[in-house]
Amino acid sequence: MMQENSEILSANLSHLDNQGQAQMVDVSGKTSTVRQAVAAARVRMLSETFAAIQAGNSPKGDVLATARIAGIMAAKHTASLIPLCHPLPLQKIEVQVTPDPQLPGYQIQATVRTKAETGVEMEALTAVSVAALTLYDMAKALEKSIQIESIRLVSKTGGKSGDYQT
């Protein structure tokens, strides 16, 4: 019965083999197409912390540039961080860190593009996650209660499953 259940389950889940074990999906038979994903996150902080970062008064240096570069680097290393992700040739990685005085804090958005057999949602999500974590790391001397919120996929295009937009 256990064998039968795992076979039924694995038939519906691409990351499980016939024995129910995790596997990397074989994408060798898929067509290489242009695929893009956009992900976002928010980083909320006290008004005083936000003002200090905006004024360039962080003890660790340029918080926003460091977070942006960290996000770009993270997207390139997604396959090393997420066990079943494919290493992909990324043609575009853009990370934007935008001040939002209403939070107060920052909106982070990453756009990742490739021409490959599988999508780049995980690369975009990894980029915003690591950019947000880096922003926290760079600003934690100013405030320990900074909150990372709402990491999410905003959109994706290309691939067999079609387009997605929130």
Catalytic residues: 137
> Which residues are bridge partners to 147 per DSSP?
44
> Which residues are bridge partners to 92 per DSSP?
113
CB neighbours (10 Å) of residue 105? 25
Q: How far is it, in rounded angstroms, from Cα 37 to Cα 127?
A: 11
Q: Which stretch of DSSP H or E encloses residue 151?
A: strand 147-157
Q: How far is it, in rounded angstroms, from Cα 47 to Cα 122?
A: 31
Structure tokens at 124: 């975009």
Q: How far is it, in rounded angstroms, from Cα 105 to Cα 39?
A: 17
Phi and psi for 85 in degrees, rounded to 5? -80, 145
Contact (CB, 8 A) for 63 and 122: no
